[in-house]
Structures are given as C-alpha cells and as structure tokens.
Structure 1
Amino acid sequence: MISLIQNVLSDPKLLTSFEAYLRCDDKHYLANNLLFMEAMSQLRHENDAKNIESMLHRIYETFLAPKAKLKLNDVTTRQQVYDDIHALSWCILSNEDAAEILKETEQQVLDTLTTKLEDFTRAKNLNTLHPSPSSADSCSTHSDTPSIKDRKIRVMIIGGGFTGFTVASILDRMPVFHVTLIDTKDSFEYTPGIVKRIVHPDRSSTMRVRHDTYVKNGKVIIGYAEDIGNDAHSVRVNDKTIFFDYLVMATGSSYTSELKSTDVSSIYRLSGLDQVNSELVKAKRVLIVGGGLVGCELAAEIASSTFPGKYPKKQVTVVESHDTLLSRSDRSQQSKALSYLTDDLGVEVVCNERIIDIMDGGTGSRYIGSSGREYNGYDKVFIATGTRPHSGLLLKATNDPLLDTCVDGWGHIRVKPTLQIEHWKYDHLFAGGDVTNVIEEKTGYAATLAGVCIARNICRLVKGKPPLRQGTKGTLPAPDKPLHGIMATQGQQKDKLKSVKKHLRFLNPSWAALKRYDEKQYLQMVQGETSSTPTFGRLPRRLTLPNIQHHVTAPSPAAVFN
C-alpha cells in the first residue's frame, strides 16, 4: 500500500482528487495527513543541516503543536515529538535523525491514509493505481509501442520553475513532442509575487499554477529525480526509469529562507507564508541579510507598509557584504537604491558587513557581523543571500561517461552559448535558469528568456538545424546589466512601468513590470496568447508529426518502466 500512496503523491490529478475526497470529512482534518506525508518526503531529500532543523520545527508547528494550523487529530505522538526535538536542540541533525523523530507519527498517519486510500479506490472504481507498462512515457517494448519513426519525441524537463515552465508551456502544445515534467511540487510558483504575498497576503493571488494545467498532452510527475543513466537517455524518479530524447535541467536554486520553496502542496506553502506574515506583523524590528535585488525589494515593501497590530511601522536593517547595495548594478542604480531605502523609507543599511556566525540564546538568535557588531533583538530575520544551485543530480549521476565534469566549482552547470550542457559527448542535454553558469541577474525574467531559447533549439535540432546562440535570430540575450537595460517599447507597458517605478525605482524595468501580473497572466504571455506584454523573444514555430523525419535513439530491450 505504501507504493500505492507514492503513486498518488506523484500524480497531480490523483493527488488533487484524493485530497478533495479527504476534505469531504473536514471534522477529522484528513487532508492534513496527506500534507504531512508530502512534508516528510521534502524533509528526507534535504541535506543542509540548517534547513533540516528549520523544516523539522516547521512540521511540528504546522501539524502537531497545540495551535497548529494543519492539525493532525488522529496521532498520539505530539508530546513525544516535542520532547525529542527539544532534547536534541543542541545537536546537528541529519535528515535521517529528523525522520526518526517523526517515525511513529508518520506510521500513524500512513495507517490512516491507507484505510482512506482503499475507500477512495473503491469509491472511484479504480482497479489499480499502479502505472500501466504500456503508458506513453514507459518506453516499453510491448507490441503496442509506436514505431520509432512514428512515436513522439520525448522531452524530459526536471524542475518546474521559470525555465521548466516556459519550455513545457511551449513544447507541450506541439503534437510532435511528449513532455514529461518532473518537479518536487505540484505547481509552478510565480516568485515575483512572493514578497508581496509575505507583506500583503490579502492583496495577493495563490501565486501558483498547477503543472497539469499547462502540461496537458504530456505527463507531470511529483518527485525527486535521482539518477541519469543509459547513455544520458533516462532518468530515475520515484523508483521508475523513464527514457527521453532531450533533457532540460531547470532545477533552479534555493535560499536558506522562505523566499523560495520546494513545498509540494500549495496549501502547505501558503500556510508557511501565512506564518511568515504573522511573524512579520508581530515584529517590531526586522533584519534582512543581503542587499541584492530581492533583499532591497523586501526592505522597501516592509518599510513602506503599514501593518495592523502593535507595531504598524517596522524598524528595518539591511546587512550587505559588499561596499554597496545591488553590487552587480552600475553606480547610478546603486545610489538610487541607497537613497530610496535610507532617505525615503528610513531603512538602516550596513555595507561591508558579512554575517559570520549565528548564536542562539534564551532571548533569541544573535547574528555576529565581521566587524564585531552583534545584531540582536530582531523579531524577524530574512536571509536574502547564499543561493544554492541545485546541480546535485549531475554530480551523483551514475551515467557512463560521468556528468559531474559539467558542474563548476560553484555548483553551477556549465552551458554553451546555445544553453546545451558542456559535455564532450552529448548535445541533447540543456540547462537554463539559476542553476547555470550564465553571467546574468538570476531572476525569473532571465530564466524565461533561457526557456524560450531552449525550446527553440530543441525544435531546431528536431528539424536538423543547428542550435542558436542565445541572443541571436529573435532570442533575447541574458540580461547581463541586471537593473537597467531592456526597456519595453509598447505604450501600455510604459504606463505600467511608471506606476511600478514609483515604489520600486531600482528594479529592472521589465522585471518590475512583471510584478503587475499574476501567475495566470504570465502563462498567457509565455504561450504567446497576449500581445500587450513584455516580450520574451520569438517563439518557435509549431511542429507537427507528419512534417518531422527526426532520428531518435531506440530504447534498449531492457528499457521498461521498472
């Protein structure tokens, strides 16, 4: 039954249907059991010790604490988990240690879900939840498998951020392709709305688009890609092997804070952001570590807002390790940002200061700066620096030849100007967005441009044409001047820019304008369904099966969906 539950958790349609079924019995909060299992999967795949500890505390506060928002009513382990967490509060926990603390709770939740899944299966008249061996993505060698000449070209996308979202949105609409999107969460998250969602949740949308609303002809798998093999033509995910013709690594990066998330469920994610907002509302003093684009935007939003409660105005401090804010921009933009934050909004900005240690005490954490200054007494702290590129899949892949040489010393994937991964043997592997070594301001806007370029290059390779260097023949170059440069020319867009720049005048104009839209409008832009929007470059022409004579590698006799 555990494997059946895993099948539900990995399929967005089944997951949504099962969750709705559980919510029919609201008084028992049964759907929260499902969210707990998703949180446990996330915990098991986290390797950073600091994140593991915060994730463990979040799981307790969310599901087990006396005032938990997503309370589990059918478990008897609350006090034991609380005692175990506090007994190990001075230890460095591994994900195995954290999972062990929650082991008995997880078993009780699993027992509840097992019973409900059996009821759900009968109610929906589902004979089995096991995948069919002849499914479109299995590449089995049964007699009903399409011939190599006629079958669709398989595009595997790992990561559902801006790059993955863009490539999938474009290629899934073309009959020639079968797109498989693997992501750790069930939805694309529109990160330009995160800061607004934290500060003003009442004015924000859900920020998420479920992957299966734009991957309609292919397949979405919720899970963690674990290995690449078979001469770099297969991915292992959820104990299954799936073959592909083209691979797009769009795994992105993460902060050690709430600004980016791998939360599977929108509900779990929004509950976490609601908690952040609650902490922010109660705070008198706020510390933001990092004076880059995100840190400055966050500081501006908080300092310019009026909150309910005891502290309507917040005392905000920004600590930046460089000698100026927005270190990758030019001096003019840096000066504007500093003046806006300090003179207009009263934010304290401390440059040339690196946080070198964090000390926990009875009155809260103390952040020790390289100057010797202690930053204490802050009620809420945001870490807006230290992004980690998610390139681990290439580093640990067992493929022969190895793929770890494609990752540089900073953990970024090396790519060619065509966004093909730099490897001496393979030209069918692509990467885009935060995970790459492209010199650019790492924003969703830049990742979208990369996605358009990758989609066009896959189409060109299918047609037997050479791939394009990003920035040529209608593709837009990576924005290497992060806070100025690409200006929209459409009248309507200029009006939007003027409105945005009144509040966030230091932002890249095109990226700032995207904050005026929500996730659904952004999807329409990427799919070319609206004209009065920021341009992302020329989209590829629609490809259909009868016109394509593309050679693809046949799967080996052992290429079954294990």
Structure 2
Amino acid sequence: MVSLIQNVLSDPKLLASFEAYLRRNDTHYLSHNLLFIEAMSQLRHENDPKKIESMLHRIYDTFLAPRGKLKLSDVTTRQQVSEDIDALSWCILSSEDAAEILKDTEKQVLETLTTKLDDFTRVKNVNTLQLMKPCSPSPLSPDIAQNNDWVDDSLGKDRPIRVMIIGGGFTGFTVASILDRMPLFHVTLIDTKDSFEYTPGIVKRIVHPEKSSTMRVRHDTYVKNGKVVIGYAEDIGHDAHSVRVNEKTIFFDYLVMATGSSYTSELKSTDVSSIYRLSGLDQVNSELVRAKRVLIVGGGLVGCELAAEIASSHFPSKYPKKKVTLVESHSTLLSRSDCTQQAKAMDYLIEDLDVEVVCNERIMDTVGGGTDSRYIGSSGREYNNYDKVFIATGTRPHSGLLLNATNDPLLDTCVDGWGHIRVKPTLQIEHWKYGHLFAGGDVTNVVEEKTGYAATLAGVCIARNICRLVKGKPPLRQGTKGTLPAPDKPLHGIMAKSRHKDKLKLIKRHLRFLNPSWAALKHYDEQQYLQMVQGETTSLPIFGRLPRKLTLPKIRQPVNIVSAALFN
C-alpha cells in the first residue's frame, strides 16, 4: 500500500482529489499527514547540509510543534523528535540523519494514510490497479522493452513523439504549454512540486501576503493531453532515452532538462503541495512581521528588491519599520549593471530607505542556529542579533541528474566546473552523440541574466527546435529566425526606457531599473505570462515566434527512422 500512496503523490489529479477527500471527511486534519509525507520526500532528496537542517526544523515547526500550522493528529513522537533535534543541534546532518529522526513519526503517519487510502479508493470507486498504470507510451524497441518497468506498446509505430521535460519552472512549462497542444507530441512533465510557481512574485508574497496571490498554476491545467509526474528524476539510461523516476522507468524521444537552480533561503522552493508552500511563506511573513532587525545577504536584483520592499513597508507589529542591513561581496550593488544603475540603487536604498549597505563583505561562516545565529564577515565583523535573515545569493544549479547518470556514454562531461550544463547555441546539450537532449534556464552555462523572462525565451527556442528536428530541419541558434536572443545584460537597463514607466506605482518607478519581473518589462507582466501558460493566448511578441501546430500524419515513418533523424 505504501507504493500506492507513492503513486497518489506522483499524480497531481489524484493528489488533489485525495487531499480534498481528507479535508472533507476528517475532523482531525488528516490532510496534514499527507503533506508531511510530501515534506519527507523533499527532505530525503536534499544534499545541502544547511538546507537539510532548515528543512528538518521547518517540518518540526509545521507538523509537530504545539502551535504548528499544520499540526499532525494521532502521533506520539513529538517529544522524542524535539529531544533528538536538540541533541544534534551542533552536528552537520545528512538527509539520512534527518530522516532517521522522523522515522517513527513517518511510520505512524503512513499507517493512518493507508487506512484512509482504502476508504478513498472504495468511495471514489478507484481501482487500485489504475494507480499503478504507466505514464509513458511505448519504449523504443523490443530489446529495451524487456528491461522496462512500464511497458505499453499499444500505440505502435503511429504513436505520438514523446517529449520528456524535467522541471516545471519557466523553461519547462513554456515548452510543455507549447507542445502539449500539438497532437504530434505526448508530453511528460516531471517536477518535484504539483504547480508552476511564479517566483518573481515571491518577494511580494513574503512581505505583503494580503496584497499578492500565490501565483501558482497546477501543472495539469496546461499539460492536458500528456502526463504530469510529481517526483525526482534520478537517472538517465538506455542510450539517453529513458529516465528513472519514483522507481519507475519512463522512455522518451526528446528530453528537456529545465531543472533550474535554488537559493539557500525560502526564495525558491521544491515544496510539493501549494498548501505546504503557502504555510511556509506565511511562516516567513510571520517571522518578518515580528522582527526588529533584518539581514539580507546578497546585493543583486533579488536582494535589492527584498531590501526595498521591507524597508519601505509598515508592518502591523511592535516594530512597524524594520532596520535592514544588506551585505554584498562586491564593491557595489548590482555588480553586473552599469555604473549609473549601481549608483541609483545605492542612493535609493541608503538615502531614501535608510538601509545599511555593506559592500566588499563576504559572509565566511555561520555560528549557531535559528535566531541565535552569528554570521562572520570577511572583515571580521559579526552580524548577530538579527531576528530574520534572508540569503539572496549562492544559487545552486540543479545538474545532478547528468552528473549521477549511469548512461553509457557518460553525461557528466556536459557539466562545467560551476555545475552548469554546457549547451550549444541551439540549446542542445554539448555532447558528441545526443542531439535529442536539450537544456534551458538557470541550469545552463548560457551567458545571460538568469531571470524568468530569459528562461521563457529559452523554452520557446527549445520548443521550436524540437518541432524543426521532427520535420527534418536543422535546429535554430537562439536569437535567429524569430527566436529572441538570451538577454546578455540586466533587463532593468531596458526597462528604464519602457514607455509604460509613467503608469507604475511609486516604488516601481523608484526601482524600475532593479527588478526584471515588474510590468515595466515593456509589454510583459504576470497576467500575460499566465495567459500563455494556460492556453488563453498563443501569440505574444515579447516571447518571440512560436512554432506552428503539428499533428499526427495519416501515414508515419517507422519510429527508428524518425529517431535516427535526431542525430543528422
């Protein structure tokens, strides 16, 4: 039955239905138990010790603490978990160590969910065999099928072309939203969470939750004809034509790696459920509201936006105005911008908002944990007594799938020393053999401003190139024939010239040169983006030319001939 629960967690529709069933039919908030299992899966796949400790504390504070926002029912391990966490407070924890602390709690929760899943399948008339059905069409050939866990050859030679997308961020769901509408393709989207999250809106959500939406769109609202799998892609094999996920093998004809990057802090998330993500953001907001002093590490676009939003706001608490300190390792803020923009940012934050800006200072070490943490700077200064700390630096590209793949030939040579995936100008990975593998967004080594807009342009280019390869045409270099080039300079320089700048609110006018997510990106704003994602529009000039719709022909070439065209 544990495997059945895992399959429910892997399917957004089943997950949403089971969550709704639990919320409607229990008085002890058993839906929180499901969120706990999701959080445990997330914990097990984390390998950054700092994030592991933070995730462990978050799980305890959310599910087990006396005032936990999603407090579990009917578990007897609260006190023991608290004692174990305290006993290991000075240790460097692995994900295995953290999971061991919560092992008994997880066992009790799974027992409760198993009973509820039995009830759910009976009431909803869900055949348990349906929960085990494959999520991908047939494998490439009979010899591969012998080793395939999910074998379904019913579609034969006239099956759709299978496009696998790993990652549901800007690049991933741009490709998915374009290709899923075409009958020629079967799209499988693998993501660690059930929804696309509009990450440029997170800063506003943290500071002013009452004035912002969640900006999350469930993946299965735009992947309507394909399949969405919630899980972690763990291996590539079968001559780079299969991915291992949730202990199953899924085959593909094309692969798009859009795994993105992460911060140490809460600014990006792999939370499976929207509910768990919102509870985390609400907790961050509560901590911010109660705080007197706030430390922000990183003076790039995100750090400057966060500092400006906090310092310019009044909070309903004992400390309505926060004392904000912004630490940056370079000699100025916005180090990739021109001198004029750097001076504007510095002047606005210091003179207008009274933010303490410390440049040429790198945080070298952290002592302690929680609100008692002391941050040691390269100058020797200690940053302590801060009630809330945000880390807006040190993004980590998620390229582990290529580094750890057991495929032959190996794929780790496609990852550079910084952890970015090497790609060609066509956004195919830099590999001598595999022209059917693509990558886009934060995870790549493309020299660009790593923003949601840039990742969207990459997604459009990848979608067009997959269509071109299928038609036997050579792939396009990004920036040619209607595809827009990757922005090679900070977008705030472009935005400052926007003809819409006079319509912006006061803070946006002050900071229009800082933030590439604001509506001043010429004609671009959140609603336009979501319209494209949800299929309400298929033509937005700010994203470049989209590919023409492709359908299944009445007579198709054999699959092996089509596949061979990938390498020509």
Are 2:260 and 1:252 aligned?
Answer: yes
Which has the higher mean CA deviation after the structures are superposed, 132-141 or 325-334? 132-141
1:499-526 per-position Cα deviation (integer Å, ceiling 9, x unaligned): 7741423225675536998866422135
| Aligned residue in 2 for 1:36 | 36
* Structure 2 equivalent of residue 61 of structure 1: 61
Supply the distance in 1 between the matched residues of 2:362 and 2:557 (Cα, whole angstroms).
Answer: 53
Look up the match of 2:304.
296
Equivalent in the alignment of 2:365: 357
The 2-side partners of 1:499 and 1:152 are apart by 51
Distance 2:271 2:213 in 1: 17
Distance 1:500 1:548 in 2: 58
What is the aligned partner in structure 2 of residue 539 from structure 1?
A: 546
The residue type paired with residue 30 of structure 1 is L
Q: Deviations over 1:167-202 (max 9, x none)?
A: 001100111000000000000000111000000000
Alignment partner, residue 6 of structure 1 = 6
Structure 1 pair 362–318 and aligned structure 2 pair: CA distance change class (3 A): closer
> Who is 1:127 aligned against?
127
- Structure 1 partner of 2:47: 47
Q: Match for residue 325 of structure 2? A: 317
Contact 1:490 1:532 in 2 (8 A): no
CA 1:183/1:362 → structure 2, altered by over 3 Å: closer, same or farther? closer
1:199-243: per-residue Cα shift (whole Å, max 9, x none)?
Answer: 000011122000000000000000000100000000010111111
CA 1:494–1:90: 2 relative to 1, 3 Å: closer
Could you say if the C-alpha distance between residues 301 and 19 of structure 1 is closer, same or farther in structure 2, counting changes exceeding 3 Å?
same
Bigger shift: residues 356-365 or 324-333 = 356-365
Q: Which residue in the other structure is 2:155 paired with? A: 146
1:95-106 to 2 correspondences below 5 Å: 95-106=95-106
Write the letter of the residue equivalent to 1:71. Answer: K
Instruction: Verify: 1:221 aligned to 2:204, yes or no.
Output: no
Distance 2:544 2:555 in 1: 24
RMSD (CA atoms): 2.5
8 A Cα contact 2:49 2:93, kept in partner: yes
Note if contact 1:322-1:353 (Cα within 8 Å) is conserved in structure 2.
yes
Distance of 2:201 and 2:522 partners within structure 1: 6
Mapping of 1:333-344 within 5 angstroms? Answer: 333-344=341-352
Q: Distance in 1 between matches of 2:85 and 2:292?
A: 28
1:389 aligns with 2:397: yes
CA displacement at 1:143 relative to structure 2: 8.5
2:207 pairs with one of 176, 189, 199: 199
Structure 1 pair 534/29, CA: closer, same or farther in 2 (3 Å)?
farther
SS at 1:436's partner residue?
coil
Cα distance, 1:133 vs structure 2: 5.7
1:450 and 1:134 mapped to 2: Cα distance?
Answer: 30
Give the secondary-structure state (helix, strand or coil) at the position aligned to 1:541. Answer: coil
Contact preservation (8 Å) 1:164, 1:250? yes
Q: Is the 8 A contact 2:40 2:99 kept in 1?
A: yes
2:216 counterpart (208, 220, 239): 208
Per-residue CA deviation, residues 302-351 of structure 1 (Å, 9 max, x unaligned), is: 01111111111111110000011011111111111111111111111110
Moved more, 130-139 or 243-252: 130-139
1:523 to 523, 530, 548: 530
Matched, 1:93 2:93: yes
SS in 2 for 1:538: coil
Distance 2:118 2:237 in 1: 35
Q: In structure 1, how many angstroms separate the alpha carbons of the residues matched to 2:562 and 2:539? A: 44
| Alignment counterpart, residue 433 of structure 2, candidates 425, 449, 467 | 425
Identity across the alignment (%):
84
SS of corresponding position for 1:156? strand
Work out the number of aligned pairs and report it. 554
Return the alpha-carbon distance in structure 1 between the equivalents of residues 298 and 419 of structure 2.
20
Shift of residue 488 of structure 1?
Answer: 10
Distance 1:208 1:517, change over 3 A: farther
**Counterpart amino acid of 1:4?**
L
Q: Does 1:329 align with 2:329?
A: no
Q: Structure 1 pair 515/499, CA: closer, same or farther in 2 (3 Å)?
A: farther
Inter-CA distance 351–70: structure 2 relative to 1 (3 Å threshold): same
Displacement of 1:252: 0.2
Structure 1 residues 496, 537: CA separation in 2 closer, same or farther (over 3 Å shift)? farther
Contact conserved, 1:19 with 1:31, CA < 8 A, in 2? Answer: yes
What is the rounded CA distance, in whole Å, between the counterparts of 1:391 and 1:361 in structure 2?
29
Between the aligned partners of 2:534 and 2:67, the Cα distance in structure 1 is 43
Contact 2:326 2:355 in 1 (8 A): yes
Q: In the alignment, what sits opposite 1:513?
A: 520
Q: TM-score scaled to structure 1, two decimals?
A: 0.93
Which amino acid in the other structure matches residue 119 of structure 1?
D
**Any conservation in 2 of the 1:463–1:550 contact (CA below 8 Å)?**
no
Partner of 1:70: 70
User: CA shift at 1:29, angstroms?
Assistant: 0.5
**Is the contact between residue 488 and residue 510 of structure 1 (CA under 8 Å) also seen in structure 2?**
no
Deviation at 1:366, TM superposition (A): 1.1
Pick the aligned partner of 1:504 from 493, 511, 521: 511
Kindly tell me: are residues 267 and 555 of structure 1, through their superposed partners in 2, closer, same or farther at Cα, counting changes over 3 Å? Answer: farther
The change in CA–CA distance for 1:151 and 1:409 in structure 2 (over 3 A counts) is same
Letter in 1 for 2:198: Y
- Residue 373 of structure 2 aligns to a residue whose secondary structure is strand
Give the whole-Å Cα distance in 1 for the aligned partners of 2:63 and 2:16. Answer: 20
Report the counterpart of residue 560 of structure 1 in structure 2. Answer: none
8 Å Cα contact 2:421/2:429 also seen in 1: yes
Decide whether aligned partners of structure 1 residues 300 and 86 sit closer, same or farther in structure 2, where only a CA change above 3 A counts.
same
**Whole-Å Cα distance in 2 between the matches of residues 25 and 130 of structure 1?**
23
Q: Structure 2 CA distance, aligned partners of 1:554 and 1:268?
A: 46
Q: Structure 1 residues 550, 170: CA separation in 2 closer, same or farther (over 3 Å shift)? A: farther
> Corresponding residue for 2:566?
none
Matched residue SS, 2:3: helix
Residues 337 and 505 in structure 1, CA contact (< 8 A), matched pair in contact too: no
Cα distance change on mapping 1:424 and 1:144 into 2, 3 Å? closer
Q: Which of 231, 239, 248 matches 1:231?
A: 239
Does residue 283 (structure 1) correspond to residue 285 (structure 2)? The answer is: no
Pairwise CA distance, 1:136: 4.7
Instruction: Tell me which residue corresponds to 2:21.
Output: 21
Runs of 5+ consecutive residues of structure 2 not aligned to the other structure = 146-150, 564-568
Contact 1:430 1:454 in 2 (8 A): yes
Q: Tell me, in whole angstroms, the C-alpha distance in 1 between the residues paired with 2:496 and 2:475.
A: 27
Alpha carbons 2:539, 2:545 under 8 Å: kept: no
Q: State the one-letter code of the partner of 1:226.
A: E
Distance, in Å, in 2 between the alignment partners of 1:490 and 1:550 is 49
C-alpha distance in 1, partners of 2:122/2:522? 45
Using the TM superposition, name which of 547-556 and 166-175 deviates more.
547-556
Q: Give the 3 Å change call, closer, same or farther, for CA 496–542 of structure 1 in structure 2.
A: farther
